[in-house]
Amino acid sequence: MGFVDILKMLGPIVLILGMLYGALVLVRKYSFPLKGKQASTCRINVLNTQMILPKKYVSVIKVDDKMLVLGISENSINLLREMDSVEEEIIEEPVQQPPKNFLEMLRKNITNK
């Protein structure tokens, strides 16, 4: 097996990889951008999602300056409540620091009877 035979084997592989890379560039250029100028115009944030039953959820979503409480099931999405962002402070729960070790967790649970 000589040098020319190795080039004959690597030639098609390099050609196929080049075509795949070109297709990737075209798809990224002409598809919907995940992050970029167009994505920043629509500000949708999912604040919290809680499972109620299997395949049934309640979700709090912030869209621009509105907060929406949605009921989500397998077949539908229903608007339960619409709030202004001023009411956002009511929904947020205080963040508690987790215990550092098992002994602190045990002391906390024993004293809270």
- Which of 92, 74, 75 is closest to 83 using CA atoms? 92
**What is the predicted pLDDT for the residue at 6?**
86
Runs of H (alpha helix) within the chain: 3-30, 37-41, 88-91, 102-111
- Which of 94, 91, 95, 89 is closest to 80 using CA atoms? 91
Per the structure, how many domains does the chain have?
2
> For residue 97, is it within any domain?
no
- Which of 51, 50, 91, 49 is closest to 67 using CA atoms? 91
pTM above 0.75, yes or no: no
The predicted-structure confidence for 1-59, as pLDDT tens digits, reads as follows: 788 888 888 999 999 999 999 999 998 888 866 555 555 566 888 989 999 999 999 99
| Same-domain pairing of 42 and 86 | yes
The predicted-structure confidence for 72-96, as pLDDT tens digits, reads as follows: 999 999 999 998 765 545 555 566 6
| Same-domain pairing of 20 and 54 | no
Which residue is associated with the tokens 């002994």?
Answer: 103
- Which of 64, 63, 61, 68 is closest to 46 using CA atoms? 61
Q: What is the Cα–Cα distance from 43 to 93, expressed in whole angstroms? A: 22
Between 64 and 13, residue with greater pLDDT: 13
> For residue 67, is it within any domain?
yes
> For residue 102, is it within any domain?
no
**Range of the structural domain that residue 4 is part of:** 1-31
**What is the predicted pLDDT for the residue at 39?**
52
**What is the predicted pLDDT for the residue at 38?**
54
